[in-house]
Amino acid sequence: MEKERFSLLLLEPGEIYFEDFSAYLCTADSAECDLEKNKIMGRLKMCSKSVVFDPKDIMKPIVKISLKDCSEISDASTLSKLTNALSIECNQHVEMLEGNVLAPYRFKGVKQRFLFLLNYAQVKDCLPQICQLHRASSLPAAEQNSMIAAIVHSRQSRVSFDTLWLEDLYETVIMETQANKITALVVNPGRILLTSSRLYFQPYNNIEPYPVLKIYLQEIKRIIKRRFLLRQVGLEVYCSGSSNVNHLFLAFKSPEDRNALFEGLVSQPKVCLDKMDQEMMTLQWQNGVISNYDYLLYLNSLADRTFNDLTQYPVFPWVVSDFSAYKLDLDNPKMFRDLKKPIGALNEVRLKRLKERYEEMSPPKFLYGSHYSAPGFVLFYLVRKFPHYMLCLQNGRFDHPDRMFNSIPDVWKNVMTNMSDFKELIPAFYDTEQAGDFLVNGHGVNFGYRHDGTKIGDVQLPRWADGPEDFVKKHREALESECVSKNLNHWIDLIFGYKQTGDEARKADNLFYYLCYEGAVDLDSIKDLNQRHALEVQIMEFGQIPKQVFTLPHPQRLTGVPPCPSASAGRAAESDEIDHTCGGRVLSWRRTETLAVSSSHQAHREAVTGCAVAGNLQFVVSVGRDSVLKTYHVKERRQMRSVTLSSMALSSCIVLPDDATLVVGCWDNNIVLYNLEFGRVTDSVRAHEDAVSCLAWGAAKRLLASGSWDCSVRVWQGVAEGRRLRPATSLLAQLEHDSHITCLALDRGCDRLVSGTEDGDMFVWSLETNTLLQQLAGHSGSVHGVDFSPNSNKLVSCGADSNFRVLDLTTGMLVYKKTLDEELRCLCWDGFTLLLGGSSGSLYVWDLLLVEMKKQIQAHKGAVLAVSASRDGSIVVTGGEDRCVMVWQPTYFT
């Protein structure tokens, strides 16, 4: 069967195509004897606002007759001797695709009568329906849409899903509903059927490539709730495999209908969705695992931006500001646009004039009367690639040649100076796979001539680009450059984040017309049809602010982190070695894949509470609730010393960088200093008014921090110099809390200290001023472990609520959160590989560069209470409730 030229893009945006009939077309002024010779065979399409005749001969034009231009629609048998013929008299008609060439439509403003001789259908059956639609066309737009909606509902209510299309007689029907299939500028209604095996879409017409679209449930990868025209009625389904469609965007009549299908889908056991949570993506982007391009695509999707809805098309930033240079110098900051400001605020002279207008404006006030993304702007960029979309949007016409997308430098100049042009870019400007095909007039469309006589052809590129493919390649390199990476978080704040609305938007000069914002108007509550229609048109044409994704400042991308082998930006790993100094531990962890047991021994009579590696990897030190300190020779696999240090339990221990001094915290309120080389206690001081629960060491300034059940943290100096530890001379600060201290960490520069408490709170303190800097989102139970990243920008924590969290300290944003199967009792982190000990004996190995768990190991028979690593990362040691100490050797990612 030959493919028809007819498509829904030949209709008005949103117009509905009902059905078609086999017919012959002839004009009424033909002599009856010439009818047989002059008639044209084709298909007559009945649509909600027009009738369209698609000739079988592709060289003849498609004829579209708008119902509002019709003066008479009748049975032709009353006018001639013809039988079963439909007569349509109109004042104007449109001819499209004549000669099968894509070009502006030809509007024929002459009165003419068309006769359609139906081959199989009966005029008496279809005439009442066409006449009803004709009557609707005479009404004002809002009332016309209302009447068409009633006609559509009447037709659809008489149709149910044809179960003959089910592939399996044994699949169970879960639910049936109706929805509109949405593609760019097109709405196509149909029936939705969810079974135990598949999701079906059966259109009410025959325009789709298949009579029924089907998606196998096991092939569904993502299901996303979306907005459509600022209403929460959209659902987008992505799949892969043997289904005859890999993507379906549906819009429902109400949020309840949408939610019913969503719940029905996710409750099916065969549906297994990809896990791609927001926190993981943000952390991977920060670490350089995914590119700026991929992260922006992801954020657009989170914010309800989709390629299938031009009113919510993905938006990308202008990043380059110099399009006149002969070379794109990515090391020169002057080549780049200021991403801290919206487009409209980049030119201060223009911004001043906009603010003056703003002050004189009555509410609701706005700075920018034009948006940064709207259907017209998207097609402005894509007109060469998708000219038929522009013809649909602009009623069969292209823009004036001088107003078209003719030159990238000219467009940049315009958005910098024009008082009504603030558009950003679309993904195609950075999509290297498409190689800049949108910049080339590949269809050979005649767009006309500019005022200087120049014929519109390909887009003029900057001097630094050698062609469309080279332009996109270099432009993508600019997007991924260090200068953009360091500042992209500011643009994210403007478009998807906390500077999008409210006072922060006003301060950032980021205010648009109120109808751009979700929640600005409740369309369902507006009863006046004309008012609702006007608002819908404004929303559709003006542009929509993305759904807000972040309410706190977005964290900055880390620059200078080690390259990741799987980074989507395509960078190759130069080395697996990662060297950092963190909390007194000089770690050099290659990215750990798993841990293998080197040795295991029962060292204590009660639970092991602290462990460390000392003596150039020779000794493992452990302390426990039996009050005993023990040392174990790693290579010889034998116990070296066993010393009772207190009459009460020992809580923690730290080996200082000299490999000779061990600091031990005791439940008898004391801190004990022990010399590992000579095997003797060198000092013991009553450090707190209650048990010492935890210790932390800061190598940069050689500071010791101790936490206690007396709800205080104390910071000491002089420990590494061999001086006696005395409060009068050694105590630098005392930081008070409201509950027991459970864990501590010092940052790399010893400028900040973080404390975790029994109540689940976490506090960041300045050691310069001894004041509280931040109270962070904590855990719902006791915090058992905290640590800073090597660059001190992030913090990881774990707790009794089975969660571990990664927080960005610059913004206070929770970057990642994961709930595991058991309470988490301890952690060890080098900034990339995270080791977590669980209450059921599990040892978890997490790669926080790729943000994925590499291994879960059953390490102990009881809770893992302590985990530590040697300075070079070659040995990991754990202690548990089962009184055992285990020595592990990491195997590394290659």
Closest listed residue to residue 187, CA positions, set 653, 527, 540, 574: 540
Sheet holding 712-717, edge to edge: 692-698, 703-708, 712-717, 731-736
pLDDT, residue 660, reads: 86
Tell me if residue 426 falls in helix, strand or coil: coil
Find the range with the poorest average confidence among 258-262, 479-483, 508-512, 588-592.
588-592
pLDDT score at 839:
97
pLDDT for 24: 94
Per CATH, 8-138 and 159-274 having the same topology is answered yes
In CATH, 159-274 is 2.30.30.180: no
Residue 35: per-residue pLDDT: 64
Give me the pLDDT at residue 486, please: 95
CB atoms within 10 A of CB 773: 16
Q: Quick one: pLDDT at residue 77?
A: 75
Residue 585's pLDDT band (cuts 50, 70, 90)? very low
Where are the chain's structural domains?
8-138, 159-274, 280-542, 588-892
Helix 292-302 with 278-287: angle, nearest 10 deg: 160
Q: In terms of C-beta distances under 8 Å and separation of at least 24 residues, what long-range contacts does 841-846 make, across chains too?
A: 841/880, 841/881, 841/882, 843/595, 843/867, 843/878, 843/888, 844/820, 845/592, 845/593, 845/594, 845/595, 846/804
Using CA atoms, how far residue 659 sits from 44, 159, 585, 613, 622, in Å, is 90, 81, 11, 9, 14
Q: Where are the beta strands (DSSP E) in 217-329?
A: 220-228, 231-239, 247-251
Mean pLDDT for 367-386 is 95
Mean pLDDT of 449-455: 92
Q: Are 435 and 472 in contact (CB under 8 A)?
A: yes
Question: Of the candidates 325, 210, 253, which has an alpha carbon nearest to the alpha carbon of residue 524?
Answer: 253
The confidence band for 566, taking pLDDT boundaries of 50, 70 and 90, is very low
Residue 629 near residue 650 (C-beta atoms within 8 A): yes
How far is it, in rounded angstroms, from Cα 806 to Cα 818?
A: 9
User: Is CATH 2.130.10.10 correct for 588-892?
Assistant: yes
> Residue 535: which pLDDT band, with cuts at 50, 70 and 90?
confident
Cβ neighbors of 878 (< 8 A, separation 6 or more) are 611, 837, 843, 859, 860, 864, 866, 867, 868, 885, 886, 888
Give the C-alpha distances (Å, rounded to integers) separating 260 from 11, 177, 189, 235. Answer: 31, 9, 18, 11
Average pLDDT over the chain reads 89
Calpha distance 88→474 (Å, rounded): 56
Residue 227 has pLDDT above 60, yes or no: yes
Position 570 scores a pLDDT of: 35
Rounded to 5°, angle at Cα 235 from 530 and 260: 95
Confidence of residue 79 (pLDDT cuts 50, 70, 90): low
- Report the topology of domain 8-138: PH-domain like (2.30.29)
pLDDT tens digits for range 320-376 = 999 999 999 999 999 999 999 999 999 999 999 999 999 999 988 999 989 999 999
Q: Which CATH number fits domain 280-542: 3.40.50.300, 1.10.1540.10, 3.40.47.10, 3.40.710.10?
A: 1.10.1540.10
Q: Please confirm whether the linkage preceding 364 is cis (ω < 30° from 0).
A: yes
pLDDT value of position 615: 66
- pLDDT band, very low/low/confident/very high, at 753 (cuts 50, 70, 90): very high
pTM of the model: 0.86
Count CA atoms closer than 13 A to 871's CA, side-chain side: 18
- Pairing relationship of beta strands 752-757 and 762-766 according to DSSP bridges: antiparallel
Q: Is the pLDDT of residue 567 over 60?
A: no
Structure tokens belonging to residue 345: 């605020």
- pLDDT exceeds cutoff 90 at 445: yes
Q: Is the pLDDT of residue 565 over 50?
A: no
